């Protein structure tokens, strides 16, 4: 029972699932949070538990609703009695043209990207302090350079960037708080999907002229989880896109 416990929000699929699996490989017990993707989350947990018994747990919660954020924190602490590492990965992403945006879109994007991460951090702070643990937030390079057509998302991620810095001060010296700002890693789905031509244009605006992989994010996250003298920092994993000037 001395194995550390990591809670990863939005961990059923894509980058979140890769992060959960990477932490599990390093000996963590993982709490896989999901909202709609319960089937994917349960399949991932079953696979991990088949290889190492009692090493993965699924908790479903809608991060748009404060009572469910509290429930997620409570259930996470009850099951193994501790949380050592909180990964705020869950995120909504879709365009919100300024004159067409709605209150509902504002609430959804701010809640999923920022508000839930803040209150989950607050409610788990006691355990994180006790374990000398850390929080790692998945920010975005567009927290600093707004993505055209996505103003609410960009605002939310800018808030998450400042939250990372603020909580690093609030929770020091016991808890380290850092962030990762991904560039082009996985192409968005559904309402935010972009054409092959747009994908090519984005890749051409990276210095390395290629996309990254979820593994790149997971490896950076593992470094931040292990490195005990870094706090309040945000690492861009973007192939140099944030430096591209043309």
Q: Which residues are catalytic?
A: 153
What's the token pair of residue 212?
């990254």
A 10 A CB-CB count for 130 gives 13
Judge contact between 43 and 123, C-beta under 8 A.
no
Helices marked H in the chain: 14-25, 38-51, 66-80, 103-110, 116-130, 151-171, 196-204, 214-226
What's the token pair of residue 119?
């209150």
Query: Listing from the earlier edge strand, what are the strands of the sheet with 56-60?
Result: 56-60, 29-34, 5-8, 85-88, 134-138, 176-182, 234-237
DSSP codes joined into one string, 201-225? HHHHTSTTSS---HHHHHHHHHHHH
- The alpha carbon of 7 is separated from its chain's Cα centroid by a whole number of angstroms, namely 10
Taking each helix axis from N to C end, the angle separating 38-51 and 14-25, rounded to the nearest 10 degrees, works out to 20
Helix (H, G, I), strand (E, B), or coil: what is residue 88? Answer: strand
Instruction: List, in order, residues 6 or more apart from 167 with CB less than 8 Å away.
Output: 121, 135, 175, 177
Judge contact between 61 and 31, C-beta under 8 A.
no
């Amino acid at each position: 029972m001395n194995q550390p416990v990591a809670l990863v929000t939005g961990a059923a699929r894509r980058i979140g699932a890769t992060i959960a699996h990477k932490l599990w490989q390093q000996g963590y017990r993982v709490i896989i949070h999901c909202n709609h993707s319960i089937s994917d989350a349960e399949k991932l947990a079953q696979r991990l538990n088949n290889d190492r018994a009692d090493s993965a747990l699924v908790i479903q919660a809608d991060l748009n609703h404060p009572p469910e954020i509290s429930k997620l924190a409570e259930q996470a602490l009850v099951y193994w009695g501790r949380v050592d590492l909180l990964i705020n990965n869950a995120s909504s992403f879709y365009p919100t043209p300024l004159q067409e945006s709605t209150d509902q879109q504002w609430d959804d994007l701010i809640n999923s990207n920022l508000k839930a991460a803040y209150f989950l951090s607050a409610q788990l702070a006691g355990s994180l302090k006790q374990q000398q643990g850390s929080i790692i937030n998945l920010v975005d390079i567009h927290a600093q350079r707004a993505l055209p057509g996505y103003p609410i998302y960009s605002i939310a991620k800018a808030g998450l960037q400042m939250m990372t810095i603020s909580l690093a001060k609030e929770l020091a010296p016991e808890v380290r708080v850092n962030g990762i700002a991904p560039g082009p890693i996985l192409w968005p789905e559904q309402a935010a999907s972009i054409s092959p031509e747009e994908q090519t244009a984005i890749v051409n605006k990276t210095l390395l002229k290629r996309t990254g992989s979820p593994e790149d994010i997971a490896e950076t996250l593992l470094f931040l989880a292990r490195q005990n003298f870094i706090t309040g920092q945000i690492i861009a994993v973007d192939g140099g896109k944030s430096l591209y000037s043309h």
